[in-house]
Structures are given as structure tokens and as C-alpha cells.
């Protein structure tokens, strides 16, 4: 597999631009493994069927400053990982997500590694659904 051997023509590039980042990675992988025609056919089939394809979970990191504290919110697919030195800030963030209609499930099986020891608290949740905004009353 050699990336410099991949040639994407103008009509294939138009399809490539329409894809989201995980689909672009899948497109390049399919093109290198099975050929550019097969990659185009697979993406067109996935786009027409409404299927996202195999896809690769994207990692997004957001840093939120709350006063003098820092809350790191990392999402990997449907998993949300929260890191902070203040547990109250994490709980407020989770409660806000819940009030906005996001249904979360605590994932105690996901634990921090040695490289993630920067913050004192580490909590992981799985997003299992979303719905209407929830009112406390």
C-alpha cells in the first residue's frame, strides 16, 4: 500500500469532497485496497442508501474554561470522556447534557491510562439516545 500511487481524477474528487471526514478515510482505504472504482461505487451506494458505511469513529476534543478550572470533553464515537480537577464541574456538564435531552449511561469500565493523569477526575459516559429537552419541574 503506497499513498503516492493513488490518483484521484476530477469526477472522483467531486465525490470525495462531498464525504465527511470518516468517509474520506474509508474512501482512501478502499481506493488503496480495492481500486478507485470500487471506492467510488461503495461511497455512492452508502450515500444513496443513507448508510454511513463502515466509518471510523472520529475523536473530538473540546477544552472548556469554567472560572479558573479546565474541563476537557473528548468524544470518541458515542462515548463522552470528561476530565477535570473539579467533580462539581463534571456533574454540572452532565446534568446540562441531560437537561438538553441527551440520554447518558455511565461507563465505569472505561478507565484512564497513565498518560491521562493530568486531571484528578475522569468519567466516561455513553450517549444512548437523545430526545426532547427535559424540565426539572
Question: How does pLDDT run across 91-132, given as a tens digit for each residue?
Answer: 999 999 988 888 899 988 888 776 656 788 889 999 998 888
Distance CA 129, CA 104 (A): 7
Q: Is 89 left (phi over 0), alpha (psi -120 to 50) or beta?
A: alpha
Distance CA 84, CA 24 (A): 33
Q: What is the pLDDT of residue 87?
A: 92
pLDDT > 90 fraction of the chain, expressed in percent and rounded: 18
Q: What is the pLDDT of residue 135?
A: 72
- pLDDT at residue 70 is higher than 70: yes
- The three-state DSSP-derived secondary structure of the chain is CCHHHCCCCHHHHHHHHHCCHHHHHHHHHHHHHHCHHHHHHHHHHHHHHCCCCCCCCCEEEEEEEECCEEEEEEEECCEEEEEECCHHHHHHHHHHHHHCCEEEEECCCCCCCHHHCCCCEEEEEEEEEECCCCCCC
Confidence of residue 47 (pLDDT cuts 50, 70, 90): low
Q: What is the pLDDT of residue 125?
A: 93
**CA-angle at 129, arms to 124 and 130, nearest 5°:** 110
Task: Please state the pTM of the whole predicted model.
Answer: 0.55
Amino acid at each position: 500500500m503506497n499513498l503516492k500511487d493513488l490518483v484521484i481524477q476530477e469526477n472522483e474528487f467531486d465525490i470525495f469532497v462531498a464525504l465527511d471526514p470518516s468517509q474520506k478515510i474509508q474512501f482512501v482505504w478502499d481506493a488503496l485496497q480495492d481500486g478507485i472504482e470500487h471506492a467510488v461505487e461503495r461511497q455512492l451506494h452508502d450515500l444513496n442508501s443513507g448508510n454511513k458505511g463502515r466509518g471510523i469513529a472520529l475523536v473530538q476534543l473540546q477544552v472548556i474554561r469554567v472560572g479558573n478550572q479546565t474541563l476537557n470533553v473528548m468524544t470518541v464515537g458515542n462515548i463522552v470522556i470528561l476530565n477535570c480537577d473539579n467533580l462539581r464541574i463534571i456533574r454540572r456538564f452532565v446534568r446540562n447534557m441531560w437537561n438538553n435531552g441527551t440520554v447518558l449511561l455511565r461507563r465505569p469500565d472505561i478507565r484512564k491510562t497513565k498518560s491521562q493523569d493530568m486531571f484528578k477526575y475522569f468519567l466516561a459516559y455513553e450517549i444512548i439516545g437523545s430526545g426532547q429537552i427535559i424540565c426539572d419541574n
